[in-house]
Structure 1
């Protein structure tokens, strides 16, 4: 098989679940998702992407996307259940997000997770050329870096965790904590969204593995130096700006406003349907503002877009049921004929429609209980070419470290969330322009290409890998 100097490994390939009749593949994009972010740097970069194609069964034969080769991995139904729905998303995901829901520890899931990680590692080891670079993505594949090191000690190995990395006291709960820690530390560089995560892994390496830590960013284990650091992920700012400037998108935004009844204020939230996103807390706050008469349906409307996620996992099905029940209650109690209090949409949107929604919203409400970064917040800022609009942003999203001029809020504090929503809705336009201008200026200098270059330059100090990225 052909080999590449750069191999990216992630749980999912960045493509639609089906291939078009002409044999072409298209990028699978979701709001703030990994595939959408990496699309900006890999669609014209010679590389190989190893990942699952999205359907249970044998690996499909997939064509390349431009210069990017696809190396699809197959998953059986049992593997998908144990590796993905089980250990990755019912054990690691809740624990890494402050145990918002209690993590489930199942010994059978671990064996499946380990076996699938081993298959991904072998595929990556076969795909990378001598002396090349493998860049492993996220919590689904935490064992892969060390497994690749055992198979291909000649290559550079990077690992980036897109979700939060928990404090030591939470990570210590994991029955397989040593294996997971050693797996991550098989990389030459372990990257995180926020600096605290790098401190957390250093503490664990010292406590559990007897490693030495020098400076703020280097762990020495078994005679090998592993660098760590924070590399806040970003978006393709130029792409979102170009979308927002398109005439058809601007016209669609105007049409959306009209369809909503031309309210004085539009509040928008765009989330994956996930319990970490704080959707229930947000609905409670908005419901109480309506109940208390501080917000009127006739001049304010909320649009909640919830993209379906992990629909076979019990906790996600239960969440959807609760949210739909709460939206129905709020609309039943506070809506009017032809004027619902909340427009609730459980569906994905294409990029142009998202850009139009972002331009429609007077207030973007991004209030996760815990989030590694949250790229939707950055997309909203990039779409606001006239520097209008307000961003209400959770302190517990990684984006809060950068977008300091947002209306920052603790989403667990429902009373505080209500007051922050009102402040954003009633803010002086000059104050909003100042805030948005500052955030937009930051994003221009910290886009997705800058993120990738910063990470890859730290991984490979020769600059060779970063030089291969598109400009």
Structure 2
């Protein structure tokens, strides 16, 4: 197999396997946010992507797709249950999201996580050329950097953490806290969404491993041939973004604009459409949003004829008990509110438990007067940036949780503490009643930030720092 100069390693490949009715197999590009974010990087020559093919026991040879080399990593059904649904999403996800749900610590899950991370590291080692770069993505693969460094010390390694990194008081609960930190410090550059996350990581490194940190640098020491060997790793914030221009182009498409008008008509042309777009996840604050909206109807501050909430909740981790319970709770709440306040002509909440293509999402963004992003904890939240990019006429209001990473950049949004239901209700009313002039001032500032810092800037910033380290290392050889 030919080797690539840059190898991306992620839990999933950027494609989905499709089997036609006649049994013919093919691959199509996945709609996920990571795939979209890395698409500009993968467009360039000499690239490879290592990841799971999306189906258990799928063991196939590497293949080419749209100019990139894709390297599938096979996972068995028990490994998916223990490594992915278990350790990644039953232990790490809730722990790193401020223990909104209780993490579960099982040694068998950890053992599977180690085994699978080792397999990903080996696949990356086989795929990258001498002196190349490997860029590891996210919390499912936190051990890969160190494992890869042991296999290929010639390679420069980057890692990007897409979700929050918790404060030490929470992180210290993890029985394998040392091993995870050592795994991450196998990378030369460790990127986070927010500077606060990078700070949390550095504090954990100091407390657990006793490494020296200064500014964005960590002095990583390790025994080497009977003496201490040290190198410097970078750990800092590289806030991720979107391909803003693609959303602008869709927002200006006559078909998409006509669909936005049609959506408003289908909802009965309410005065105000409020929109929530989330994966169905307990970190997204959907329950808090529904509670606030229901109380506004109960208080008479909003009426169904004047305001409708559209909630898109795309399916997520449906085999995990906490997610199944969350779906039941949300659908019960939606049914109760609609039962109390619907009329023959208007629905209080239009609830959609499904995913939509990007064109339909942009039409929803154009139809919505108020975007509600009420995450209890979120690494970034790209939906907020997508909404802003789509509002080419500078109308609309973004109400944004201060616990989402996007709040560090989108400071002209209405920032809210979603745990404060009273404050959330007041800010929803402020958004509904905001004057066109204030909407325009705020949206112009928001759009300026999103357009000036798009996804290509994000990937360029982190890959540039990785390349500086590679260049310096090669110069020393």
User: TM-score normalised by the shorter chain: which range applies?
Assistant: over 0.9
Residues 192-237 of structure 1: CA deviation (Å, up to 9, x unaligned): 0001111112112222112111234333333121111100000001
Inter-partner Cα distance in structure 2 for 1:445 and 1:463: 28
- Unaligned ranges ≥5, structure 2: 223-229, 472-477
Mapped pair 1:244 → 2:246: no
Offset at residue 421 of structure 1 (A): 0.5
Query: Given the two structures, how large is their TM-score scaled by the length of structure 1?
Result: 0.95
Tell whether the 8 Å contact from 1:8 to 1:49 is kept in structure 2 after alignment.
yes
Corresponding position of 1:188: 188
Corresponding position of 1:4: 4
Inter-partner Cα distance in structure 1 for 2:412 and 2:304: 28
Task: Give runs of aligned pairs for residues 57-136 of structure 1, distance below 5 A.
Answer: 57-60=57-60, 63-136=63-136
SS across alignment from 1:391: strand
Inter-partner Cα distance in structure 2 for 1:235 and 1:133: 23
Query: Given the two structures, how large is their TM-score scaled by the length of structure 2?
Result: 0.94
SS across alignment from 2:99: coil
Q: Root-mean-square deviation (CA), in Å? A: 1.5
Q: Bigger CA drift: 436-445 or 136-145?
A: 436-445
Offset at residue 16 of structure 1 (A): 2.2
SS across alignment from 1:25: strand
Corresponding position of 2:344: 337
Mapped pair 1:372 → 2:374: no
Tell whether the 8 Å contact from 1:23 to 1:63 is kept in structure 2 after alignment.
no
Tell whether the 8 Å contact from 1:457 to 1:463 is kept in structure 2 after alignment.
no
Inter-partner Cα distance in structure 1 for 2:253 and 2:204: 49
Inter-partner Cα distance in structure 1 for 2:432 and 2:44: 41
Corresponding position of 2:360: 353
- Unaligned ranges ≥5, structure 1: 465-471
Tell whether the 8 Å contact from 1:121 to 1:144 is kept in structure 2 after alignment.
yes
Tell whether the 8 Å contact from 2:63 to 2:71 is kept in structure 1 after alignment.
no
Q: Bigger CA drift: 113-122 or 208-217?
A: 208-217
Residues 361-397 of structure 1: CA deviation (Å, up to 9, x unaligned): 0000011000000000000000001010000000000
Q: Which has the higher strand share?
A: 2
Tell whether the 8 Å contact from 2:18 to 2:25 is kept in structure 1 after alignment.
no
Tell whether the 8 Å contact from 1:198 to 1:217 is kept in structure 2 after alignment.
no
Aligned partner of 2:31 among 29, 32, 41: 29
Offset at residue 267 of structure 1 (A): 0.4
Tell whether the 8 Å contact from 1:219 to 1:227 is kept in structure 2 after alignment.
no
Inter-partner Cα distance in structure 1 for 2:244 and 2:458: 12
Mapped pair 1:224 → 2:231: yes
Inter-partner Cα distance in structure 2 for 1:229 and 1:422: 37
Mapped pair 1:436 → 2:443: yes
Corresponding position of 2:225: none
Inter-partner Cα distance in structure 1 for 2:99 and 2:469: 40
Mapped pair 1:208 → 2:208: yes
Q: Name the count of aligned residue pairs.
A: 462
